Amino acid sequence: MTLSSDRRHRRQLLAGSLALAAAGSAGAAPAAAGYKAVFQVSDADPAKWNLTLNNARNAQAELGAGNVVIEIVAFGPGIAMLKAGSDVAARLAEDGQAGIRALACENSMRGFKLTHDQMAPTVGYVPSGVAHLIRRQTEGYAYIRS
């Protein structure tokens, strides 16, 4: 193996390891799912959140809940709607039971001085919401901006 091919091989191994770690931290998609969608919500508007949650449920109804993986990634001001007691906290719990994952950007949480204890119990976490969206799009997820 040449020095350059050895470096390339190590970079590929590192990239694969990082991808696995990222998938593990956000939860890997079920292998049986035929469709995958990631929604972005960066606004703290309850009406926009309810629309997004409705759209996620409509996608499940049309495609079959067992055939679609749906994640909703919140960052920026939208992070406030993932707090326990928010205007949509009850819907998040209900939709979480239906397999729709709400994910909070930990960068935004730090910016807004929020802790995991302040968030709704069904919320998952990603280190960076934007990076998570980029990863999911490269993994074939449909991207929907709400």
For position 128, which CATH number holds? Answer: 3.40.1260.10
Report angle CA 116, 119, 123 to the nearest 5 degrees: 90
Does residue 137 lie within any of the structural domains?
Answer: yes
Percent of the chain whose predicted confidence (pLDDT) is above 70: 77
Range of the domain at 139: 30-145
- Asked whether residue 127 is assigned to any structural domain, the reply reads yes
pLDDT at 9 exceeding the cut of 50: no
Q: Per the domain annotation, does 69 fall within a domain? A: yes
Residue 143 pLDDT: 97
| Domain annotation covers residue 135 | yes
Assigned domain for 116 exists: yes
What is the reported pTM? 0.78
15 located within any domain: no
Whole-number Cα distances in Å, 75 to 72, 79, 133: 10, 5, 11
Provide the number of structural domains found in the chain: 1
Give the angle subtended at the CA of 41 by the CAs of 37 and 45, to the nearest 5°.
Answer: 140
Q: Which of 117, 51, 108 is nearest to 79 (CA)?
A: 108
Site of tokens 């292998």: 31
